[in-house]
């Protein structure tokens, strides 16, 4: 696993069930709320500031998702895409990385094609067993509860870039560009 993480230059993540707990809150006008974990946002920014690109890939599209993506400064994203295999290849091409340099974080069956084409795959702790079995690693945290940050910390540690989250100096050096 560590050898695969050493070469990661792009992390593609699902949103619902990964960056959120998967709950959808509707009002009369449609999707109204989603809850994102602040540590995941910081993990995204730490990866980006450390030279690892982050992309978002979701089968859903909404103003809420677009707002969160913009708040975090994520430039690579595809929304409303159920064909995640093709979408992963598109994101890899945009990021100019190979499949072996790409990690994918998902939580459900719709993510399995992405697992199959990315060099490293991870599932959140509360994913169904058949999704966890297909992943290279199952995280200890659930979707919407800091799972992305867990993966971010793993990648940064393996790549020797963990000073950004382990020390005040490391964090402060990158903090000017951070968002949560």
Backbone angles phi, psi at 3, to 5 degrees: -60, -40
Range with the poorest average pLDDT among 10-14, 167-171, 175-179: 175-179
CATH number, domain of 46, equals 3.40.50.1000
Residue 58, pLDDT above cutoff 80: yes
Q: How far apart are CA 158 and CA 154, in angstroms?
A: 6
pLDDT tops 80 at residue 173? no
Q: What is the mean pLDDT of the chain?
A: 92
pLDDT at 1: 67
Could you tell me which residues are annotated as the binding site for Mg(2+)? 14, 107
Cα–Cα dist 117/34, whole Å: 29
Structural domain for 28, as ranges: 1-177
Range 108-115 average pLDDT: 97
Give me the DSSP letters along 96-110. Answer: T--GGGEEEEE-SGG
- Higher per-residue pLDDT: 165 or 107: 107
Contacts of 160 (CB under 8 A, 6+ apart): none
In the chain, the number of structural domains is 1
Query: Residues 47-74: what's their mean pLDDT?
Result: 93
| Binding-site positions | 14, 16, 45, 60, 68, 84, 107
Binding site feature residues for substrate: 16, 45, 60, 68, 84
**% of the chain exceeding 70 in pLDDT:** 95
């Amino acid at each position: 696993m560590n050898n695969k993480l050493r070469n990661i230059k792009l992390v593609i993540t699902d949103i619902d069930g990964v960056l959120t707990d998967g709950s959808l809150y509707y009002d009369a006008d449609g999707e109204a709320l989603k809850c994102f974990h602040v540590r995941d946002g910081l993990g995204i920014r730490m990866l980006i500031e450390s030279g690892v690109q982050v992309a978002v890939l979701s089968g859903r599209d909404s103003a809420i998702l677009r707002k969160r993506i913009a708040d975090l400064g994520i430039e690579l994203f595809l929304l409303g895409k159920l064909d995640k295999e093709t979408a992963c290849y598109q994101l890899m091409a945009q990021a100019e990385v190979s499949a072996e340099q790409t990690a994918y974080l998902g939580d459900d069956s719709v993510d399995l094609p992405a697992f199959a084409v990315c060099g490293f795959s991870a599932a959140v702790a509360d994913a169904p067993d058949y999704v966890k079995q297909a992943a290279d690693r199952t995280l200890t945290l659930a979707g919407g509860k800091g799972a992305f940050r867990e993966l971010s910390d793993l990648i940064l540690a393996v790549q020797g870039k963990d000073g950004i989250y382990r020390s005040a100096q490391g964090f402060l050096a990158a903090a000017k560009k951070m968002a949560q």
